[in-house]
């Protein structure tokens, strides 16, 4: 301690020799510290240079609520990974860059990761248009790019061999697994309200097909421009014969959407089935949301822990700092994006597993990392995968997990149905492994 | 839904849109009219008003109406204070030069927006309406509060007109607008008038935000859309003409409401933008504007 102190506040009569002595002593102390018990487990690695993961995060722009929680989850997962000895014996470091939830900026961030920060892999993007904007650049730079976006674009084959989605099920699989339950329990004539961009189009295309397979039909499609702030004008388009109103919205205006829906319909309304995307980071007990009482929600991972959470769920909530209601432990008004952010946690553990399987040492081993990731087939439920077990299809770079349906009652949503993984499987449309590395 | 009720809904939506537009454009029009300053940060004053309303409404959890009343007084004062600081520290030092103030207020837009993100966070913040009353038509329901916004907007516009046309302060403002040099020669403290007008413009934006935030929620990016629409309204109406702004707001609001209900909101935006282009070509000073001498 005294040598450190000497460095910060040098005595008045400091000579060059004295200064060198102090510097040398503190360097020796630092070396001793590194060799101490806290660091010993990194020693077996060939190099103790940290593994650097570039984290493309929506700190600003319309994705900022998601970004905040993606960042918290990532920080918690990296802390745990480092406590457990890092990846292949090396510590892991996150290099976070804000992309402003903007596709152009996203591509720049990927570029910056590869050329300036020299990261090992890039990770963490959520909004589908940012993924679409960034992934081609990652492919050109041959930078492995792990997204947590749930869009179908990875599995569709539209992207490239460097882009993976191993932590969250894609929309096509999600809606496919929902359709039988909706047709069986709520009704067969569905009106869809969805955002008018890639993510909403995934819902439109794959749900329409999935409900048809169940003998139902989509009676009306209502696309909403992403910057819309008032929705009443769209409601006359909802046909009177609608059994189920299927809504999926994103962005800050979702509360308005639900409120106006309530004002428009009152108590006489079709059954409501919504994707929690509409209400991530929003308290279900917010004023105006009473209208949702008795309606159903898709949740990848139910925000409300329920009476019997798994040990893994409890572990995960504890590490990230989320309570049993899905809010921050430090502020109950700070609601998490629970159905998406687990994807960050799980993806980081997949990256760890893949890097260790590939014997990853540095950027020269990126091809090995890609092949090791593609070779994976399943992830077991556990602390690393608290949302549940998953299968992974290396040809389309996409994982498949269980989905949940919850029912809103009194400001929270309780689970009523959990799908099997098979409910959401579809014929693969692509094979990335045929592309060259 | 059959044609009649559909039209009724379209007219209701159009009326609300028109009231909202007139209210947000009023401050912008006033500031340009008197000071010849194009305030690009006008939308951010609006956003700030909504944020302060949210913050104040949380201080009084007892009844939403109490928080709303507090916000109705507090938000314009708080935003007016920010505007006063801006006027003293930035606009005055630039001598109110049109080009310089445009650049300065663009900068201000980003500063206020990012500060709001830092201080208040990125989530949309709901504010309860002071009352929840649902008007039930046989075919659909409609928010009673939205109609209250229309009435409140009419009251604010009438009050603004009265102040401008019937009071001594209004006379001084009009004199400054007409010819600031002659006004100064007659002993009118032009720089104080400028400060008062800029603060009033910002306070009006904040007031509009307080009225609207129960419909739309506070969000740090919410200022951009009203800014654009306000500019459209002010340009069509004639920069500086409050009567023109109100009429333009009604035309744009109603056509926006009706076109977007019957056709598509995108078409409504296209037509609005086309109208601006047309007015700029045919009558550059706007429908009710006076050509700059």
Model confidence over B196-252: pLDDT tens digits?
999 999 999 999 999 999 888 888 888 888 888 888 888 888 877 888 888 999 888
Which residue does chain B place closest to A260, by CA atoms? B143
Residue for token digits 């040598």?
A: A3
Q: Say if residue A52's pLDDT is above 60.
A: yes
Tokens of A100: 């402003």
Measured CA to CA, the distance from residue A326 to residue A308 in angstroms comes to 15
Higher pLDDT, A308 or A166: A166
Of B64, B126, B141, the CB nearest to A286: B126
Which residue does chain B place closest to A196, by CA atoms? B266
Question: Is some CB atom of chain B closer than 8 A to the CB atom of A68?
Answer: yes
pLDDT, tens only, A159-184: 999 999 999 999 999 999 999 999 99
Q: Say if residue A40's pLDDT is above 50.
A: no
What is residue B6's predicted lDDT score, i.e. its pLDDT?
84
What is residue A45's predicted lDDT score, i.e. its pLDDT?
58
pLDDT band for B137, please (50, 70, 90 cuts).
Answer: confident
Q: Say if residue A38's pLDDT is above 60.
A: no
Pairing of strands A404-409, A390-393: unpaired
What is residue A21's predicted lDDT score, i.e. its pLDDT?
59
Q: Tell me the nearest-neighbour CA distance from A63 into chain B, angstroms.
A: 8
ipTM: 0.78
Residue B94 parent element (H or E):
none
Of B117, B124, B140, the CB nearest to A264: B140
Residues of A with Cβ-Cβ distance to B55 under 8 angstroms? none
Q: How far is CA A185 from CA A84, A211, A214, in A?
A: 45, 13, 12
Asked whether A335 and A283 are in contact (CB, 8 A), the reply is yes
Q: Say if residue A138's pLDDT is above 50.
A: yes
Residue for token digits 């007892």?
A: B62
Q: What are phi and psi of A55, to 5 degrees?
A: -110, 110
Question: Is some CB atom of chain B closer than 8 A to the CB atom of A235?
Answer: yes
Residue for token digits 């006359």?
A: A236
Share of residues in chain B with pLDDT > 70 (%): 98
> Counting one residue from A and one from B, how many pairs have CB atoms under 8 Å apart?
82
Measured CA to CA, the distance from residue B159 to residue A378 in angstroms comes to 68
Residue A86 parent element (H or E):
none
The predicted model gives A203-210 an average pLDDT of 94
Measured CA to CA, the distance from residue A79 to residue A272 in angstroms comes to 40
Share of residues in chain B with pLDDT > 90 (%): 35
Higher pLDDT, B61 or A272: A272
The predicted model gives A401-429 an average pLDDT of 94
pLDDT band for A330, please (50, 70, 90 cuts).
Answer: very high
Q: Tell me the nearest-neighbour CA distance from B214 into chain A, angstroms.
A: 9
Q: How far is CA B179 from CA A94, B169, B175, in A?
A: 60, 16, 6
Using the beta-carbon criterion (under 8 Å), do B126 and A287 form an inter-chain contact? yes
Using the beta-carbon criterion (under 8 Å), do A254 and B134 form an inter-chain contact? no
What is residue A31's predicted lDDT score, i.e. its pLDDT?
46
Long-range (24+ apart) CB contacts under 8 A made by B154-157 are B154/B19, B156/B23, B156/B26, B156/B204, B156/B207, B156/B208, B157/B22, B157/B23, B157/B26, B157/B242, B157/B246
pLDDT, tens only, B74-104: 999 999 999 999 999 999 999 888 889 999 9
Q: Say if residue A196's pLDDT is above 80.
A: yes
The predicted model gives B248-257 an average pLDDT of 86
Q: Say if residue A14's pLDDT is above 80.
A: no
Q: Say if residue A25's pLDDT is above 70.
A: no
Measured CA to CA, the distance from residue B150 to residue B155 in angstroms comes to 9
Q: Say if residue A131's pLDDT is above 70.
A: yes
pLDDT, tens only, A254-291: 778 888 888 888 888 899 999 998 788 888 888 778 88
Measured CA to CA, the distance from residue A54 to residue A117 in angstroms comes to 8
Per-chain mean pLDDT for chain A: 88
Sheet of A51-57: strands edge to edge?
Answer: A92-98, A51-57, A121-123, A145-146, A163-164
- Please state the pTM of the whole predicted model: 0.79
Q: Say if residue A417's pLDDT is above 90.
A: yes
The predicted model gives B119-123 an average pLDDT of 84
């Amino acid at each position: 301690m005294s040598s450190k102190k000497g460095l910060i506040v040098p005595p008045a009569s400091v000579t060059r020799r004295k200064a060198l002595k102090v510097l040398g002593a503190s360097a020796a102390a630092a070396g001793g510290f590194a060799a101490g018990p806290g660091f010993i487990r990194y020693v077996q690695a060939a190099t103790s240079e940290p593994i650097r993961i570039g984290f493309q995060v929506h700190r600003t722009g319309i994705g900022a609520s998601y970004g905040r929680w993606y960042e918290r989850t990532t920080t918690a997962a990296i802390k745990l990974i480092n406590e457990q000895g890092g990846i292949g014996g090396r510590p892991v470091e996150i290099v976070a860059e804000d992309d402003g939830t903007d596709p152009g900026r996203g591509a720049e961030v990927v570029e910056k990761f590869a050329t300036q920060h020299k990261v090992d892999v890039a990770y963490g993007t959520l909004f589908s248009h940012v993924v679409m904007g960034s992934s081609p650049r990652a492919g050109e730079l041959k930078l492995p790019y792990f997204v947590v976006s749930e869009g179908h674009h990875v599995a569709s084959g539209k992207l490239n061999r460097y882009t993976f989605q191993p932590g969250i099920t894609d929309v096509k699989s999600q809606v496919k697994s929902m359709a039988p339950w909706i047709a069986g329990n709520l009704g067969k004539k569905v009106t869809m309200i969805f955002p008018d961009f890639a993510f909403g189009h995934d819902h439109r295309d794959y749900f329409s097909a999935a409900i048809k397979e169940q003998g139902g039909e989509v009676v009306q499609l209502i696309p909403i421009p992403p910057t819309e702030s008032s929705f009443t004008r769209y409601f006359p388009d909802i046909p009177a014969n609608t059994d189920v109103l299927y809504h999926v919205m994103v962005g800050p205006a979702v509360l308005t959407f639900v409120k106006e829906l309530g004002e428009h319909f009152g108590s006489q309304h079709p059954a409501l089935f919504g994707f929690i995307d509409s209400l991530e980071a929003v308290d279900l007990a917010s004023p105006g949301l009473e209208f949702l009482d008795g309606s159903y929600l898709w949740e990848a991972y139910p925000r409300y822990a329920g009476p019997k959470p798994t040990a893994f769920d409890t572990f995960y909530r504890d590490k990230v700092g989320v309570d049993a209601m899905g809010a921050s432990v430090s502020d109950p008004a700070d609601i998490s994006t629970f159905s998406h952010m687990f994807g960050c946690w799980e993806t980081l553990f997949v990256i760890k597993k893949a890097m260790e399987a590939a014997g990853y040492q540095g950027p020269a081993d990126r091809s090995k990392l890609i092949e090791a990731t593609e070779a994976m087939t399943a992830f077991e439920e556990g602390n690393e995968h608290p949302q549940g077990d998953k299968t992974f299809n290396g040809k389309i770079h996409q994982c498949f997990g269980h989905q949940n349906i919850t029912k809103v009652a009194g400001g929270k949503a309780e689970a009523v149905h959990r799908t099997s993984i098979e409910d959401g499987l579809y014929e693969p449309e692509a094979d990335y492994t045929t592309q060259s590395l | 839904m059959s044609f009649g009720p559909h039209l009724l809904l379209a007219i209701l939506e159009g009326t609300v849109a028109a009231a909202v537009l007139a209210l947000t454009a009023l401050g912008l029009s006033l500031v340009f009219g008197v000071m010849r300053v194009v305030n690009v940060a006008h939308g951010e004053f609006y956003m700030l008003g909504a944020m302060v309303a949210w913050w104040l409404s949380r201080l009084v959890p007892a009844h939403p109406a109490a928080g709303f009343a507090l916000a109705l007084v507090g938000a314009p004062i708080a935003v007016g204070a920010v505007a006063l600081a801006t006027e003293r520290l930035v606009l005055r030092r630039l001598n109110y030069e049109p080009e310089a103030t445009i650049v300065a207020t663009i900068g201000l837009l980003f500063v206020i927006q990012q500060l709001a993100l830092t201080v208040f966070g990125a989530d949309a913040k709901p504010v309860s309406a002071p009352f929840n009353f649902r008007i039930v038509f046989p075919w659909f329901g409609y928010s009673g509060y939205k109609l209250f916004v229309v009435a409140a907007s009419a009251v604010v516009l009438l009050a603004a007109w009265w102040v401008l046309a019937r009071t001594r302060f209004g006379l001084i403002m009009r004199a400054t607008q007409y010819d600031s040099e002659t006004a100064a020669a007659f002993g009118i403290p032009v720089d104080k008038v400028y400060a008062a007008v800029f603060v009033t413009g910002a306070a009006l934006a904040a007031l509009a935000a307080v009225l609207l935030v129960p419909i739309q929620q506070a969000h740090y990016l919410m200022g951009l859309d009203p800014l654009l629409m306000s500019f459209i309204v002010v340009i069509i109406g004639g920069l500086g003409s409050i009567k023109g702004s109100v009429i333009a707001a009604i035309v744009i609001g109603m056509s926006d409401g009706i076109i977007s209900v019957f056709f598509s909101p995108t078409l409504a935006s296209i037509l609005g933008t086309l109208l601006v282009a047309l007015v700029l070509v045919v009558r550059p000073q706007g429908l009710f504007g006076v050509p700059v001498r």
